[in-house]
Structure 1
C-alpha cells in the first residue's frame, strides 16, 4: 500500500518533535541536513525520512560528521567511527516503515485476545532475550496478546502492541513464541494492534533492525511503506 498525500508530512512532524526541532523542520529542510546540538545528549542519532535528514547530538559529533554524506551517516560503522574517542557503542541502524491504512487480517478460527500485562510478560518468558529486547513490549502500553487454548489452559502465542509518539504515531511491535513462528499468528497480532491504533486516529510506524529479515518481511507483508532509517550510537 502507499501513504495518502500528506501522511509523510505527519510522520515528519512527529519526528520533528521527537528529536527536538521546531514543527515543520523536516518539511522545510528541502534536501539539506538538519542539525541540532545538545552537549548533554547521551547518544548521537541520524534520521532520514522521505528524503530529508537530521543529525542530533553533541556539537563535537556534529562537527566531526560535517564531511560525511547522508548515505555514510546511515551506516552504523560511520557513527561508531565518529564517536570512537567518546565511548560510542551499541544501538545500530533501524529501517523505518509507515502506514495510514492496512488490509484487515482475518483469523481462520475464533481467538481469545488478552489486553492484560501478565500475559505479555508470560510470552516474553517463552522467547529469546534478544527478541524480547528488540520488541520492547514493556515500553508499548497498548498490548493485544493472542491466547491458545490447549488442555483447558490458555497460553500466550503472540502479542501485537503499540505506544503513542507525540500523539501522532503508533510505534508498533510484535513478539511471537518460537513454537508458533511461521504460522501467521505474528501477522494477525500485528494487524490487531495496528487497526486499534488506526481507530484511535494514529499513523503507524514500524521500526526494525536492518539485519532482522523476519521483521522486515513482516512489515512489507502487512502493507507498510518504507520511509527512512534511524542510526544511533550511545555515548560514554
Structure 2
C-alpha cells in the first residue's frame, strides 16, 4: 500500500474523532477521552483507545493486543455490551470485472429501501444501504430488487463501502459485481474505498479479498451502560 493512501486513511480517522490532523500519523498508543463511547481502533501500528476518563487508566494497563480484544474491553466496561467488531481494509485499484458495464443498475434510494424489505433485519442494520449517500441497485426483469451497493464519505476522504443481496439472489456473484460498482464510483469521486467486515464473517472477508481490499486494522465498539 502506498504511503499517500495510508496518510489519507489516518487523516480521515483523526478528523472523524475530532482530533488534530496529525494526531494519528505516528505509531504507538493514542488515548481519546469520550464520555459516550468505548472503542479501540487499530490503524497499522497505531492503536487508538476511545473511552470515558474513568476507564482510561485501566485500559492503559493493557498491551496493544489485549486492548483490542472484545473480552478485555467488556471486562472493564462495567457491564457494557458489544456493539461491533470489524476488520478494516482499503482498496486503491479500480475493479475491472468484465460484467460491470453490462449490469443494469438504479441509483435510487427508493429501490434500496425495497431491497432492504427483502433481506434479514440484521443484514439491513449492518449495511445501512438506504442511508448511504450513493446507492446502486440491480433488479430482476419484473422489477424485484436483487442486490445493491453504496458508499458514504467520511470526512470527505474515505468511502465506507456496503453491499446487500436478497437471500434468494445470493451465491450468484451479484454482490461481488455491485460491490465493484461502488468501489469504482468511490474512486471516481476521489475517495479511498474502505471495507468493514464483521469479525467472523467469512463471506464478507472473501468478497473484500476478491475486490483487492488489503487489511490495515480493526475496530471494536462497546456500549457503556449509563452513558
Q: TM-score category by the smaller chain?
A: over 0.9
1:112-151 equivalent positions in 2, closer than 5 A: 112-149=104-141
2:68 to 74, 85, 90: 74
CA distance in 1, matches of 2:95, 2:5: 17
CA distance in 2, matches of 1:52, 1:129: 34
Determine the structure 2 residue equivalent to 1:22.
20
1:36 to 13, 25, 32: 32
Do the aligned partners of 1:75 and 1:93 also contact (CA within 8 Å) in 2? no
What is the Cα deviation at residue 108 of structure 1?
A: 7.8
Residues 109 and 20 from structure 1, CA distance in 2 versus in 1: closer, same or farther, beyond 3 angstroms? closer
CA RMSD, aligned part only?
1.4
What is the Cα deviation at residue 181 of structure 1?
A: 1.0
1:1-236 equivalent positions in 2, closer than 5 A: 3-28=1-26, 30=27, 32-39=28-35, 41=36, 43-83=37-77, 85=78, 87-107=79-99, 110-149=102-141, 153-236=142-225
TM-score (norm 2): 0.94
Instruction: For structure 2, list consecutive stretches of 5 or more residues without a partner in the other structure.
Output: none
Equivalent pairs, count: 225
What is the Cα deviation at residue 129 of structure 1?
A: 1.0
TM-score (norm 1): 0.91
- Secondary structure at 1:162's aligned position in 2? strand
What is the Cα deviation at residue 109 of structure 1?
A: 8.6
Do the aligned partners of 2:158 and 2:194 also contact (CA within 8 Å) in 1? yes
- Secondary structure at 1:113's aligned position in 2? coil
